[in-house]
Chains A and B, each alone.
Chain A
């Protein structure tokens, strides 16, 4: 699965974000380093939602932060709004920030407990001096209303007085204050109850339409991203396995890892056969990844070729791309 290659890149005129050969390394000691993201490429067209799916440790969150230059990038490029974020200086990156915002996994910890909801949501407006204090206040009320929080009741309370779902609504309101082009959601619902998850996913969809957002949606849960994505990118140990549209990905996953992921999702219907465990073991350590295809140690279809040669992404037709020597039929 160690997938590299760029056949899936579309060079259309309205590309919002284009990531090429992105590598992010963390130094473990003076001599060794671990590659959390090893050569990922993808692009994102205006109005799309790209979901990045993978298990913990596959590098999906690192990828999200690296896109926003919240982490130092080792090599590769991130083209956004006409500049390569990895090449321009700190101040230039900072000036691009209003156009790209992020929503985090832990809704409570992403809000400073010292400030009221109103102060938190107006913070981005203050940083960039958008409008007078009065205009800002009007904007904050409007934002809170749009995410279903009543500013007159909740505005002067602090984040820890709210439930996880409400905090996530507040985070969403804050991230939209600057009217960004690109919104990166890092596991925005994985800390929430199933019933609340649906509310937040719907809200994100509404906001996407209302503000014309382009989104990157990072999740470990294939079922969550189903309703929101236009394209899904499956990651394993820092590499791309498969990129596909949701319908073809769920109906006929081409990569063996994707297949395993799809079949591991529990189905709330006892009449459907429970999938026997189809994937043994756990991902190997990213410090010392397997040669060739990184998934081969757990793959049911692995051959010698997989150990020696890294599969490149190839076009399977109808918008599907897979990095596998022996894709499923």
Chain B
């Protein structure tokens, strides 16, 4: 499908995700006030009140624009990496178990269901509490370790979501006669999976993966809100977490990151829907 043929809402989504990706890649080099420097002379500057701080500052004097831009990288990277790794592991498990059926399928499916039944936030909290805390409260846990634990917990959340999609799609595709035909030609199972199952199952996984990115951004934000996110780093979630006490007197400092986060989630969902409908129309032609 060409960009021109997209609806206006879909176009806006693509453009917005383009902007976000630009912020992820080049955000660090945009000449802006350091996000970690607070401007004592400008605390709680409102939206569009000052040229120096176009989106204002929060009650501590942090520049919101630069925080949003530099926060894009950790937020998006955490989401992309966890959806990427989780998707890879989940789809592999889902495809192989659905293709082989039998005991393996039973075990994998049960595991998926168990993980799915634990709320993502609880899982994240538990993992951070176990893996990213130090018995000595005076020693700070390094940010990198926290990030890794957060990615790990989000990955675990993603595995069964995409795994089940891959499993369902594989079940339906592996019943098609061309798979039986491939077997009757003497293709090995591994070749059949790579040549006939994976290419047909991938579009369904892509479509849901985009939806999953949206979910993960929100979960990462929620973890920050609960104080187990990236504390001293900058991400959209930790921005929201930091200003959660200031909602009454500096509401814009909450609104800015929330809007950015919401737009990104909506755009991801929209893109997922486009992929989904394209997939359905091609399926419809069969």
Contacts and interface: CB of A to CB of B under 8 A. Distances in A.
Whether A and B touch directly in their complex, counting CB atoms under 8 A apart, is answered as yes
Interface string A118-134: 00000110011000000
Interface in B184-237: 184-188, 191, 195-196, 199-200
Interface in B162-194: 176-178, 180-188, 191
B286 interface: yes
Contacts, number: 65
Interface stretch (A9-17, A106-114, A304-312): A106-114
A127 B191 contact: yes
A95 B181 contact: no
Nearest to A94: B186
A36 interface: no
Contacts of B195: 112, 123
B185 A124 contact: yes
B285 interface: yes
A104 B181 contact: yes
B178 A112 contact: yes
A112 B183 contact: no
A208 B188 CA distance: 28
Nearest to A178: B185
Given A108-B286, A114-B199, A127-B191, A97 B185 contact: yes
A128 B186 contact: yes
Given A113-B286, A114-B200, A106 B184 contact: no
Contacts of A113: 200, 282, 286
**Residue of B183, B186, B196, B200 with highest tally of chain A CB at under 10 A:** B186
Contacts of B285: 160
Nearest to B175: A109
A261 interface: no
B185 A127 contact: yes
Contacts of A68: 184
Contacts of A94: 186, 188
Interface residues on chain B, size class: 20 to 34
B286 A98 contact: no
A123 B199 contact: no
A178 B184 CA distance: 12
A116 interface: no
Q: Chain B binding site: helix, strand, loop or mixed by DSSP?
A: helix
**Residue of A94, A101, A114, A128 with highest tally of chain B CB at under 10 A:** A114
Contacts of A108: 286
B168 to A, nearest CB: 18
Interface string A69-104: 010000000000000000000000011011011101
Contacts of A160: 285-286
Contact of B186 (A97, A109, A174): A97
A98 B177 CA distance: 18
A197 interface: no
Nearest to B197: A112
A100 to B, nearest CB: 8
Contacts of B185: 97-98, 101, 123-124, 127, 174, 178
A112 B200 contact: yes
A105 interface: yes
Contacts of B196: 112, 114
Interface string B267-286: 00000000000000010011
A178 B187 CA distance: 13
Given A127-B191, A160-B285, A110 B186 contact: no
A102 B176 contact: no
Interface of B: 176-178, 180-188, 191, 195-196, 199-200, 282, 285-286
Interchain residue pairs A-B with the least CB separation, the first 7: A97-B186, A110-B177, A104-B177, A124-B185, A112-B178, A102-B184, A109-B177
14 contacts: A65-B180, A97-B184, A102-B184, A104-B180, A105-B177, A110-B176, A112-B178, A112-B195, A114-B199, A123-B187, A127-B187, A174-B181, A174-B185, A178-B185
Interface of A: 65, 68, 70, 94-95, 97-98, 100-102, 104-106, 108-114, 123-124, 127-128, 160, 171, 174, 178
Given A98-B186, A109-B177, 18 more contacts: A68-B184, A70-B183, A95-B186, A101-B185, A104-B180, A104-B181, A108-B286, A109-B178, A109-B286, A110-B180, A112-B200, A113-B282, A113-B286, A114-B200, A123-B185, A124-B185, A127-B191, A174-B181
